[in-house]
Amino acid sequence: MFGIYPAGAQWVRQFTSSEAALVIQERLTQLAGLVAGALTEPFGPQRGAVIATHHGFLVMADTSGPATEIVVVPDVRLQHLLWSYNTGNADQWSGRELKVMMGGNLDNWDALLIDANRKFRWTVSLVEQAIAGTLKKEEPQAAASVDNVVPELDSYPDDLWEPVFDYVPFDGGQSCGL
């Protein structure tokens, strides 16, 4: 039902569940902290409706058959990057473009592939546990300690932007002769 995705078969994990897709969605969002999907079909009709998202990966469901089918795949942006890499077109993306698109320190293909693989395996693990009914809510992390005053947050491309004009000295006078 789900078909082939641009990133390739190595970036797809498919499951069958006796539970309804919305039950799986509830477990993933309430117990694992995934973001609930709006049942959109980013790859077209009959290719899966998004029930949850997690760090660049989509959990999609098909409920048209006798059992619920669930699939984990990269989101559309990551699909395109992985397709570029797999087809020998990786050099069309500069390190800066990779960093802006993926955030953090992912400014080269090695870092991007390692990070994507780690997040993919983690998302697949969460979905497996949700389907099996063994997913448990994690304990909240301890409050900030002496060594870690600020809790670590996800970074976004906007965090990388540095306002240029914040560092320009201004004496209060007019800047032009008008």
Domain boundaries, the chain: 12-132
pLDDT digits (tens, 9 = 90+) for 90-132: 999 998 998 888 887 888 999 999 999 999 999 999 999 999 9
How crowded is residue 104: how many other Cβ atoms within 10 Å of its Cβ?
15
Rounded to an integer, the average pLDDT of 56-77 is: 90
pLDDT at 139: 57
What residues does 72 pair with on adjacent strands?
13, 59
pLDDT at 148: 42
Residue 158 has pLDDT above 90, yes or no: no
pLDDT at 174: 55
Question: Which residue blocks in the chain are alpha helix, DSSP H?
Answer: 21-32, 76-86, 95-102, 109-132
Residue 171 has pLDDT above 90, yes or no: no
From 61, 87, 78, select the one nearest 120 (Cα to Cα).
78
CA distance 49 to 67: 15
Rounded to an integer, the average pLDDT of 40-61 is: 92
The structure tokens listed for 131 are 């389907």
CA distance 178 to 175: 9
